[in-house]
Amino acid sequence: MCGIVGYVGPKQAYDYLIEGLFRLEYRGYDSAGVALQDGSKISIRKKTGRVSQLADLCKLLPIHGTSGIGHTRWATHGEPSDTNSHPHTGGNGEVVLVHNGVIENYSILRDRLRELGYVFRTATDTEVAAHLVAHQLEEAVKLGDDPFEAETCVRAVESAVRQIKGTYGLAVMFRDVPGLLIATRFGSPLVVGMGRGEYFLASDASPLVGHTKEIVYLNDHETAVIKADSFVLRHQDGSAPALSIRALEQTSRDTDLGEFDHYMLKEIFEQPQTIENALRGRLDDEEATAKFGGLNLDPQSLGRIDRIVLTACGTSWHAGLVGEYLIEEFARIPVEVEYASELRYRNPPMADRTMIFAITQSGETADTLAALRECKRKGHPTLAICNTVGSTIAREADGGIYLHAGPEIGVASTKAFTSQVTVLTLLALLLGRMRHLSHPAGKRMISQLREMPDKIRQALKCFDAVKDVARKYYTAENFLYLGRLYNFPVALEGALKLKEISYIHSEGYPAAEMKHGPIALVDEDTPSVFIAPRCEIYPKVMSNLEEVKARKGPVIAIACEGDDKIAELADDVIYVPDVDEYLQPLVTSIPLQLLAYQIAIYRGCNVDRPRNLAKSVTVE
């Protein structure tokens, strides 16, 4: 949630800040603001709405300075408004900061600071942090510290955050110490871009593309002290952590729209390539298995695992459900799929030979990170399936598998889902070959996986048919999504995509469960989307479909090419390539992503930035 940018150097900071905020807008778009320091003066501009509205304001009221911070907000405390927008000031304006995260004890801190005479002008928790830093600075000066020294400012920030309960990523400037930027984090990501005589700050790497090729990820409880000519990393316990400089792997092509109108559509059409990337170098023909370089577990340790827990949130949780079916079918290992938000607070019995996989696109999801840490604390091997190199979960897990899907900008996840399913299929192959899966069966899976990028290209050809279906049903206010076995999680994911970006109420169910309640919702105005490719229980799915038709419910079917029978029953059919059951989620999810996209377009919704949602959920 929310996005932070910062700059210290010889150039005018505004250009980098506003460009960075545009790139980070997918993280939060209730409001945006910037603060620039010019000598001993800090000027602030902030505006409710999109970053473009902030840019318009800054054209009318220009500001200047060679150091600055910026923020794009997803509201947690206090409604979106100009007043509640970041940056916020502390004391009498001597402190200016931006904040990602949630300060859980802000009410107690606010009452204490009010008693000390601090005046609160916003409804945010962030203003507490600003006043708290200002207070700690004042206390340091009373003890004889020099307020014009950077060290005094650093100690004020570190003293303040020790009193904060919750999560934070903070970027702080001081009116009386020009050219100083202090950044610190706990539970909310920050990354520093290394330059020559300049440094860049952001809450993820995308704003840094084109400005630097070397980056440093901050760990929890670390503080970056940044000036134009120096960068010092320190731990809040006083130690000096090792400086780990990484190469920035993103390119401008990763974040450009190209020929597409929206990031979501671009990312849907990137899926043949992203699945190819997920497979690259991981198929072992000789041994008829999959191979991963980052699991950090030897075959003996993997072979001793007798239970797997997959934990995730949202779309990643749906991918985990597909993974459960895959691993149990091919490796015969019991699998449980847990909502990370529940697992972090539960105390389920887990034997010593239980392995935890955290599934996440961003690698920063607060609940997934907390669940991973809790399982790690109890001694279980914790692995990550993650898209973002250098993210907190990727660094804290014992090992893991990268998706290599590239940045996903659209809030509604698409290519990350199919990449996660692809990686989970590879994991099922690896574990299966270590147990019961025969060499010929492994070879067959490898052959079929290699065909999947082309199968996805074929599936994407359904877009014209999807547009016709979307035009017919975009005014509906309720949808049902129904599937069986491997396609039940796809039904859940299809329903989620529709509600996320078109604001239509939609629910996903196993098709056979329809008779246990959801069939009461069927009427002439409620379309039912049946994910019904050929499978073992195809006749039973057809029976469920006919039950809906008998009650005059409109039926949209996702079916295999050449299925004429379903065309006789369904009102509309969208065809996908015929693949084995275990691979069907990769092709059947494509028309559902496109259907959600096109319905949202017809309804006039912002598909890349749906209301109330942000890309990375870094707060509870």
Query: Residue 180 has what pLDDT?
Result: 96
Query: Residue 614 has what pLDDT?
Result: 66
pLDDT digits 0-9 by tens, 134-151: 999 999 988 888 888 999
Query: Residue 260 has what pLDDT?
Result: 92
To the query of whether residue 2 is one of the catalytic residues in this protein, the response is yes
Mean of pLDDT values over 155-175: 94
| Torsions phi, psi for 35 (to 5 deg) | -135, 130
171, pLDDT greater than 70: yes
At 595, is the secondary structure helix, strand, or coil? helix
pLDDT digits 0-9 by tens, 375-411: 988 888 899 999 988 888 888 899 999 999 988 888 8
Average pLDDT of every residue of the chain:
91
Residues 6+ apart with CB under 8 A from 557: 529, 530, 532, 545, 566, 567, 569, 570, 572, 573, 574
Query: Encoding tokens for residue 47?
Result: 């505006």
Closest CA to 25 of 4, 9, 56, 47: 4
How many percent of the chain have pLDDT more than 70? 98
Query: Residue 289 has what pLDDT?
Result: 95
Query: Residue 270 has what pLDDT?
Result: 97
At 279, is the secondary structure helix, strand, or coil? helix
Query: Residue 254 has what pLDDT?
Result: 67
Which region holds residue 306: left if phi is over 0, alpha if psi is between -120 and 50, else beta? alpha
- The distance from CA 276 to its chain's CA centroid, rounded to whole angstroms, is 21
Query: Encoding tokens for residue 546?
Result: 């006919």
Residue among 2, 153, 313, 375 flagged as catalytic: 2
pLDDT digits 0-9 by tens, 256-275: 788 899 999 999 999 999 99
Least confident among 31-45, 183-197, 514-528: 514-528
Residue 442 C-beta-side C-alpha neighbours within 13 Å: 24
Closest CA to 207 of 4, 58, 354: 4
Per-residue burial over 160-176, b if 16 or more Cβ lie within 10 Å, else e, is bbebbebbbbbbbbbbe
243, pLDDT greater than 90: no
Please report the domains of the chain, with CATH numbers, ordered by start residue: 3-254 (3.60.20.10), 263-602 (3.40.50.10490)
Residues 6+ apart with CB under 8 A from 49: 29, 30, 31, 32
Cα-Cα-Cα-Cα dihedral of 161, 163, 168, 174, to 10°? -40
At 374, is the secondary structure helix, strand, or coil? helix
Between residues 550 and 202, which one has the greater pLDDT? 202
Is residue 393 within a helix (H) or strand (E), and if so which, with residue range? helix 392-396
Between residues 290 and 542, which one has the greater pLDDT? 290
How many percent of the chain have pLDDT more than 90? 65
Mean of pLDDT values over 12-18: 95
Integer CA distances (angstroms), 476 to 118, 480, 595, 619, in order: 52, 11, 13, 33
Task: Please give the model's pTM, rounded to 2 decimal places.
Answer: 0.85
Query: Residue 330 has what pLDDT?
Result: 96
Query: Residue 297 has what pLDDT?
Result: 83
Tell me the longest C-alpha to C-alpha distance in the chain. 86
Query: Encoding tokens for residue 309?
Result: 């827990």
| Torsions phi, psi for 36 (to 5 deg) | -120, 140
Closest CA to 198 of 36, 98, 68, 72: 68
510, pLDDT greater than 80: yes
29, pLDDT greater than 80: no
Query: Encoding tokens for residue 245?
Result: 């400089």
To the query of whether residue 47 is one of the catalytic residues in this protein, the response is no
Reduce the secondary structure of 443-504 to three states and give it as a string.
HHHHHHHHHHHHHHHHHHHHHHHHHHHHHHHCCCCEEEEEECCCHHHHHHHHHHHHHHHHCC
Query: Encoding tokens for residue 26?
Result: 């997918």
